[in-house]
Amino acid sequence: MSMFVMPSLGADMEEGTLAEWLVKPGDKLARGDVVAVVETQKGAIEIEIFEAGEVAELIAEAGQTLPVGAPLARIRKPDEADKEEPAPEPTPAKVALPSELEPMPEPALMPSPLPVPDPVPGQGALASPAAKARAAEAGLDLGTITGSGPGRAVLLADVERYLKDAPSAKDTLRESIGKTAAKGKPGLDMAQLRRAIAAAMSRAKREIPHFYLSHRIDLQAAQNWLAGTNAERSPDRRLLMGALLIRATVLALSRAPELNGRFESEDYKPSEPIHCGMAVAMRGGGLIAPAILDAQEMGVDDIMAAMRDIVARTRAGRLRNSEVTLGTITVSSLGETGVDALFGVIYPPQVALVGFGAPRIEPIVHDGAVAARTCVTATLAADHRVSDGRQGAAFLAEISRLLQEPETL
């Protein structure tokens, strides 16, 4: 018998709301089956099971908000099916009933709904630098905290006190998660998404010594190939330049193990598979970077199909937990209507982010003469604990080289 628990869907996740069970007792499960939907800050996530078996008992009920690690269901392993006949009453020691889980562990972060920040400079809340840093880390608006310092300035102690005993804020958070779940249609709370981004990005800038490289790439060959290919295809089979850019990045990564992997605890581990995160902008603000799993095995058409699928499911709030937790690198592409270049913040625990600006027609030297050609600026944000400029430069040069021969991608 094994326990299926509330999964952690990112370092910043403390708890989740079980929105829906997709299985019932007695159902047979194969590895990778989607068994439940959990509401998180990143919207509704479909939860897969990582071992085969049979659902013995559903412990948690839809609508319950539970901390990471709380038991959701008991799973009977395939070889246990018969041994279980006399249904042993004392279930394994680890099994805890939901009621035993109250009181829940106090979450470290209890963000309150953020009021619109005061736009007038100088009229914002007075606060010590330490208090500001702590509040930013926790995603708190200083204006909501009562200061005890000179001129009612907010001190670090005030922030800590607020974080420690702000049950109302916690309830509000829980309530708002519950509300989205209750609507039946998994929705996305923009304020919560913002807080998830704030937590991940603050951690990245605090812990990761970023370095940046930028390289202009002649995209005319790729553009011509794309136009020729798409001219013969109906719209549902057409490719976007983004698929070529991701394909070239993935191919170049096979020679750059120090850019593809995860830096967890003290160790960096290069990853054999390339789970390529793709920054997807949400209409209405914010972004989510789900991963195209095993992108190293996909050609351009497969990558395009995966992009269509993932963008649609990201916006509909139907991502799977593996997609939001297993990424080994992220690609962020501004598309046609953007600026020249983007210098990204690495998504921890990843160690690199590749950015592509908007492709534009520019005057560049080609075959010894100035010509107007489509170009794109590729950038790399990389973790200096793991890689150096030389490796990064070779990587961007390799992407450029690959894009000159689009038919081979």
Partner 1 sequence: MTPEEIRAAFIQDLITVAPDIDPETLEDEAHLQDDLGLDSMDFLNLVNALHKRFTLPIPETDYPELATTVKAVRYLSGALAG
Residues binding partner 1 (CB under 8 A): 227, 230-231, 234-236, 238, 240-242, 281, 283-284, 307-308, 311, 335-337
Distance CA 22, CA 4 (A): 14
Shortest distance, CB of residue 190 to partner 1, whole angstroms? 11
Give one DSSP letter per residue of 289-343, joined into a string.
--EETTGGG--HHHHHHHHHHHHHHHHHT-EEHHHHH--SEEEEE--SSS-S---
Neighbours of 28 (CB within 10 A): 13
Q: Please, which residue, 26 or 284, has the CB nearer to partner 1?
A: 284
Quick one: tokens of 387? Answer: 């890689």
Q: Which is nearer to partner 1, 87 or 227 (CB)?
A: 227
- Which amino acid, residue 238? R
Which amino acid would we find at residue 193?
A: L
Closest C-alpha to 277, from 208, 226, 352, 203: 352
Asked if residue 132 lies in contact with residue 152, where contact means CB atoms within 8 angstroms, the answer is: no
36 contacts 47 by C-beta, under 8 angstroms: yes
Q: Among 286, 291, 327, 325, which residue's Cα sits nearest to residue 309?
A: 291
Cα–Cα distances in angstroms (integers) from residue 106 to residues 25, 137, 164, 335, in the given order = 31, 17, 9, 42
Cβ proximity to partner 1: between 161 and 315 the closer is 315
Tell me how far, at minimum, the Cβ of 333 lies from partner 1, in Å.
9
Minimum Å gap between C-beta 228 and partner 1 is 10
Question: Shortest approach of partner 1 to residue 121 CB, angstroms?
Answer: 29
Q: Which of 105, 322, 282 is nearest to 196 (CA)?
A: 282
By beta-carbon proximity to partner 1, the closer residue of 236 and 267 is: 236
DSSP string, 47-101: EEPSS-EEEEEE-S-TT-EEETT-EEEEEE-GGGTTTTTT--SS--TT---HHHH
382 within 8 A of 243, measured Cβ to Cβ? no
Question: Among residues 93 and 231, whose Cβ is nearest to partner 1?
Answer: 231
When the beta carbons of 104 and 311 are compared against partner 1, the nearer one is 311
Could you tell me how many residues make up the chain?
A: 409
Nearer to partner 1, 44 or 241 (CB): 241
What letter would DSSP give residue 368? T
Task: State the sign of the Cα–Cα–Cα–Cα dihedral 317, 319, 325, 329.
Answer: negative
Question: CB of 178: closest distance to partner 1 in angstroms?
Answer: 23
Nearer to partner 1, 4 or 225 (CB): 225
Nearer to partner 1, 259 or 331 (CB): 331
Q: How many CB atoms lie within 10 A of CB 181?
A: 24
Tell me the closest approach of the beta carbon of residue 305 to partner 1, in angstroms: 12
Output the smallest distance, CB 131 to partner 1, in A: 36
Structure tokens given for 135? 């509040």
The CB-of-226 to partner 1 minimum distance in angstroms stands at: 9
Return d(Cα 244, Cα 403) in angstroms, integer: 8
Closest separation in Å from C-beta 341 to partner 1: 18
Angle between helices 129-138 and 156-164 (to 10 degrees): 30
- Name the minimum Å distance from CB 204 to partner 1: 24
Beta carbon nearer to partner 1, 143 or 286: 286
